Amino acid sequence: MSERNRTVPRVGMVGGGQLSRMTHQAGIGLGVHFSVLAAAPTDSAALVCGDVTLGNDRGLDDVMAFAKANDVVTFDHEHVPEPVLRAVEEAGGLLRPGRDALRFAQDKLRMRTRMAELGAPSPRWRAVTALEHVTGFADGEAGAGWPVVLKAARGGYDGKGVWIAADAEEARAVVDRAAAEDVPLLVEEKVAFSRELAVQVARSPHGQVAVYPVVETVQRGGICHEVVAPAPGLSDEKATRAQELAIEIAQALDVTGVLAVELFETAEGVVVNELAMRPHNSGHWSIEGARTSQFEQHLRAVLNLPLGSPRTNAPFTVMANLLGGTDPDVYSRYLHVMAKDPGVKVHFYGKDVRPGRKIGHVTVMGDDHQDLLERARDAAAYLRGDDQ
Ligand SMILES: Nc1ncnc2c1ncn2[C@@H]1O[C@H](COP(=O)(O)OP(=O)(O)O)[C@@H](O)[C@H]1O
Ligand SMILES: [Mg+2]
C-alpha cells in the first residue's frame, strides 16, 4: 500500500464497470484515493483508474486482500457471494453497504419477503420450486391470472432472469430450466403499470439521508432506454410517497451509500419492483442534472461525510442510454452529434461495442421534456450508428 497522501481515505470499488468508472470520476473531484478491483484490464473503470487491482471481483481471496488495502469498500454490482462478504466483515473489512443490507439487493425472494414485512406496496408473489406453485398462483388462491412474471431470485440484470409466461406451458419451460440450472425462482403478478419510476436515496452511516426527485424510466426488453427527471406529471402525493418509501427502506435495511428503488406507477399508487444498493442507471441524469451527482453522493455516504444537495439544476433532465450497434466506431460520430446539438452531453464508457450492450449515455437539460426526449433519442440513435 502506498503511504503517499495518507490524509485522504482510500475507497475501493469492487467491479470495474461503468458505475465504477463514473464513481472514480467523482472521486477525482473529491480528491480521495479511489481504487478498483476489476476482472480484466479492459473493464470500463480499469481503463481509466490509476489504482487497479486485477482479480476475481467475486472471489474470497481477492476481495479480502482488496478490503485490507482500503479503508472502505463499496460495490458496482451485487454479485459478491454472501459468504465472501461475511468473511471479509468478520476479518475487519469495512463494507458499505454491508452484508446485512446487500442481502436484500442480491436476492429477490429475500427482498420480497422483507418488503412484505415492512408493509411496502408490492406485487403479489410467491416462491417457486415446482410448476404447481405457478399454476396455483395464477389460477388458484392468489387469483393473479395469466400472464405471470417469473424471475430468477439471483444473478439477473437488464431483464436477463425475467420471463413472462402466458400459460402453464411457457411457465413449465422456465421452471424446468431453472431447476436444471439450480436457479431459485419466484413468480409475480404482472403489474398493469402506467409507467416505471425510480427513486434514489443516499444514506450515510450517521443516518443522514438525501433523496432525489422521482424519475420516469422507460424500459424496453428489460433494458433501461431513457430516464426523465423528474417524472413528468407525477402527482405530489405519489412523488412524496415514493420518496418516503425509499427513505423507509434505506433506514430499515440499514443501507449505506446510494439505494435505488425501482417502482411501478399504478392507478392506486406506487409499487416496489426491485432494489439496487449502488449508483444506478436511473440516476445517471444527476451528473449534470443535480447539484450532487449520485456518484459523488455515493462516495460521500460510504465515507460518512455530510451528503450533498440533491436539488435539480434544470426543470427537466433527460438521459438516454447509448446501446451498442454493429459499427464499433462511435467516436467517429461525435462530430455530427456535437455540431448538431451543443447542449447534448456525451458519456462513453470505453467498453467494447456489442449490439444491445450499454456503452454510454447522453444527457440534455431544459424546460420541455418532450423536446429533450427527442434530442436525447436522436443523439443516442445517431451515435449507435445503425442507420448510417
Ligand atoms: N411484476 C412485474 N409486472 C410487470 N412487469 C414487470 C414485473 N417485474 C418486472 N417487470 C418488467 O421487467 C423489467 C425487469 O425486471 P427487474 O425485476 O427489474 O429485473 P432486472 O434485475 O433485470 O432489472 C422491469 O423493469 C419491468 O419492465
Ligand atoms: Mg430492474
Asked if 329 and 358 touch (Cβ cutoff 8 Å), the reply is no
Q: Quick one: 363 and 216 in the same domain? A: yes
Q: Quick one: 24 and 79 in the same domain? A: yes
Round to whole Å and give the CA distance between 377 and 281: 16
- According to DSSP, the β-strands at 270-276 and 257-265 are antiparallel
Q: Quick one: 174 and 208 in the same domain? A: no
Q: Quick one: 146 and 208 in the same domain? A: no
Around ion ligand 2, residues with a beta carbon closer than 5 Å are: 262, 274
Q: Quick one: 358 and 238 in the same domain? A: yes
Binding-site residue positions for ATP: 108, 151, 188-191, 196, 273-274
Counted domains in the chain = 3
**Rg from Cα positions in the chain:** 21
Tell me the pTM: 0.96
Segments forming the whole domain that contains residue 228 = 195-384
Q: Quick one: 273 and 319 in the same domain? A: yes
Among 189, 206, 241, identify where a domain stops. 189
Q: Quick one: 225 and 167 in the same domain? A: no
> Which residue's CA lies nearest to atom 6 of ligand 1?
190
Round to whole Å and give the CA distance between 351 and 100: 32
Burial class (CB in 10 A: 0-12, 13-18, 19+), 143: exposed
Q: Quick one: 349 and 315 in the same domain? A: yes
Q: Which amino acid is at 22?
A: M
Residue 105 predicted with pLDDT over 80: yes
- For cell 409507467, the residue is 195
Mutate to test the pocket of ligand 1, among 115, 149, 272 (most ligand atoms within 8 A of CB): 149
In a domain, 109, yes or no: no
For residue 256, which phi and psi values (nearest 5 degrees)?
-120, 135
Q: Is the CB of 273 under 6 A from ligand 1?
A: yes
Secondary structure class of 204 (helix, strand, coil): coil
Tell me the C-alpha to C-alpha distance, in Å, between residue 319 and each of 95, 196, 227, 281, 378. Answer: 30, 15, 5, 9, 12
| Sequence-separated (6 or more) residues with CB below 8 Å from residue 381 | 387
**Angle at CA of residue 219, ends 245 and 380, nearest 5°:** 120
Among 42, 75, 95, identify where a domain stops. 95
Q: Is the CB of 107 under 6 A from ligand 1?
A: no
Ligand number nearest CA of 197 is 1
Give the pLDDT confidence of 188-247 residue by residue, as tens digits: 999 999 999 999 999 999 999 999 999 999 999 889 999 999 999 999 999 999 999 999
Q: Quick one: 331 and 372 in the same domain? A: yes
Atom number in ligand 1 closest to CA 158: 22
* Distance (Å) from CA 26 to ligand 2 centroid: 24
Round to whole Å and give the CA distance between 67 and 1: 12
Give the pLDDT confidence of 157-191 residue by residue, as tens digits: 788 899 999 999 999 999 999 999 999 999 999 99
Ligand number nearest CA of 158 is 1
Give the pLDDT confidence of 13-39 residue by residue, as tens digits: 999 999 999 999 999 999 999 999 999
Give the residue among 88, 2, 102, 95 at the shortest CA–CA distance from 51.
2
Q: Quick one: 203 and 172 in the same domain? A: no
